[in-house]
Homo-oligomer: A and B are copies of this chain.
């Protein structure tokens, strides 16, 4: 008695139905055409009886196509990544693809490993949301001309479809809201820029808007890593010190928003009183921290499903130039930007 009652194969089905393997295969793949109803019946019954399921592995080996899509995320701990992932996964599933996930856990050494791994599983395409440090050339070789779509982060020298938040619109929305609320002194806080395009874009958008607003309003930006909470606290204090009225802080994403909340709490300040706060990424907790934290919600679901759809189109053979899709964010005004003069 074998411990693993081995899965039934196409051969088993063929035997039981009294037909050839080829016929069973035809039933599986071209059920509609080329099959006499009587035989189809028998095959179907045999499949049913044996609880037969095709082996995607063998199928992929033979066909060269795996019905697999590879997703690389920078950090699955980030709710943004998960939200995008959910959207993408749904779209993939609807199109009959399965998603293989590779999480970088923010370690850039893992980037090429992940790509290799996914690649070796014959994924038909990649959705990438990575650290962006790999060289374009290296990247291209492991990608092997398979379709790629980038989410949120652009790769230098890789001209492929790109789906992302409209960072300029999002930053502008923050400033519009803040100006209307009466704020005139600003501090933009981002994670260390590195080579991450979305971070850079947001900073640039911020600088541009600040330049346009001067001299009615003024501000600057700082990087705040996880390792230096004191630096962030000092930056906040400086912002307050140099301002006539409460300044407003703009957080580049949800992670930074949390760090700012921590710093503000440590300083004993109240959001919306001593300091204003708005951030990109609307998190589940934003409404309940302090007086509620204002935020620009990203259309994460749409981003994910669009990315998947673009990729699947490419896999299907679509050959148009690289597309860039920018989706607008939605401003959620809450107490943290209700300036009380």
Contacts and interface: CB of A to CB of B under 8 A. Distances in A.
A155 to B, nearest CB: 20
Contacts of A35: none
A3 interface: yes
A181 interface: no
Given A60-B57, A120-B53, A144 B289 contact: no
Nearest to A55: B120
A19 interface: no
A283 interface: yes
Interface residues of A, number: 49
Contacts of A122: 55, 57
A82 B77 contact: yes
Interface string A86-103: 100110000000101101
A66 interface: yes
A90 to B, nearest CB: 8
Interface string A57-92: 110110000100000000011010011011001100
Query: How many copies of this kind of chain does the complex include?
Result: 2
A86 B287 CA distance: 27
A141 interface: yes
Contacts of A58: 61
Interface in A1-45: 3-5, 7
A330 interface: no
Nearest to A89: B103
Contact of A98 (B77, B117, B285): B117
A85 B102 CA distance: 12
24 contacts: A5-B145, A51-B141, A53-B116, A55-B61, A55-B122, A57-B66, A57-B121, A57-B122, A58-B61, A61-B61, A76-B85, A77-B82, A77-B86, A82-B82, A86-B103, A98-B117, A258-B284, A258-B285, A258-B288, A262-B288, A265-B287, A285-B288, A288-B290, A289-B289
Interface of A: 3-5, 7, 51, 53-58, 60-61, 66, 76-77, 79, 82-83, 85-86, 89-90, 98, 100-101, 103, 105, 116-117, 119-122, 141, 144-146, 258, 261-262, 265, 283-285, 287-290
Given A55-B122, A98-B117, A101-B101, 5 more contacts: A7-B144, A76-B85, A77-B86, A89-B103, A283-B285
